[in-house]
Amino acid sequence: MAAQAQTSPISSPSAAARSANDRLLPLEVFINSTKGGVWTLLERNGVLYAPADAFEEWRLNHQPSAQDIQFQGQPWYPLSAIPGFDARLNFASQSVDLVFSPSAFNAVRLTQEAALRPPLSPTIPAAFANYDLNYTTSRSRNIGSGVDTQDLGALTELGLSGQWGLLTSSYVGRNLISQDPTVSASWRRLETTYTRNFLDSTSTLRLGDSATRTGISGRSVYFGGVQFSKNFALQPGFITQPIPTVTGLSAAPSTVELYVNDAAAADLQGALGAFHH
């Protein structure tokens, strides 16, 4: 047997409350020919109602203007208020096939959920030192003289880190073991920088010596002072450029496969209604 969609105006809650023709129908529900589970529907005065949990499970948008009724302490919403509604009852198999228009369903996103940032481990104070040594020796080929020249150079970096940030300082050493009395050993400081990252705001604070980070058309500027800037490297999965959007509408359960540059990017089985990526 088939029960056609109700097109008459929905009865007001006060009129429905006075009705004595309430009937609970435990049925196997199909949504646009797709299994929707076993649900108990309420029939009152020839109108089918479903609980709010069913609308959420079926991804249906019930109209805000639709008047609900109270039954067994919970609200029930009329299915006839959904666009394109049609119901086909089969009492022999205790099932009902509910048909709705594609616009009645919530949109489905074909993107994966963004990965949550893992919790940070406790900060442990640390110190480190980096060094690069360069040793050269040479001998003069002048006749009657054999003078050897030796030179040792060093490039070093010292650092301290903790919950307060990172402090680094680099130095360069020249002529550290030179035997030439006219050349003396020397040390020179290169860069001293204090860096503090703020993960919540994806930004970085630098005090001391640093260089600006520019795009393709810019040129880096070396400076000494204060710099506070965005640093998206703190969140590697964050996309900073606009991405294309693909939308579609499926009137029947379908399989949607999305390819980007001939590579599979998303796969949605049983898509019904609106979808976008």
pLDDT along the chain (277 residues), means of 10: 37 43 86 84 86 84 76 85 84 86 72 67 91 84 64 92 93 83 83 92 90 76 87 79 69 68 67 61
Distances in Å between the alpha carbon of 234 and those of 112, 151, 210, 273? 21, 42, 18, 37
Distance separating alpha carbons of residues 59 and 3, to the nearest angstrom: 23
Residue 87 CB neighbours (<10 A):
19
Q: Which CATH architecture has domain 13-101?
A: Roll (3.10)
Look at phi and psi of residue 190 and say left if phi exceeds 0, alpha if psi is from -120 to 50, else beta: alpha
* The pLDDT of residue 142: 64
Distance separating alpha carbons of residues 16 and 270, to the nearest angstrom: 37
Q: What is the pTM assigned to this prediction?
A: 0.47
With beta carbons less than 8 A apart as the criterion, state whether 42 and 23 touch.
yes
Sign of CA dihedral 67, 76, 62, 7: negative
* The pLDDT of residue 120: 79
Domain ranges of the chain: 13-101, 107-115+238-277, 126-234
User: What are the DSSP E strand ranges found in 163-201?
Assistant: 165-174, 186-198
Distances in Å between the alpha carbon of 124 and those of 84, 121, 161, 162? 62, 9, 8, 6
Residue 189 three-state SS? strand
Place of tokens 């529907």: 41
Place of tokens 């594609």: 102
Name the phi and psi angles at 14, rounded to 5. -70, -40
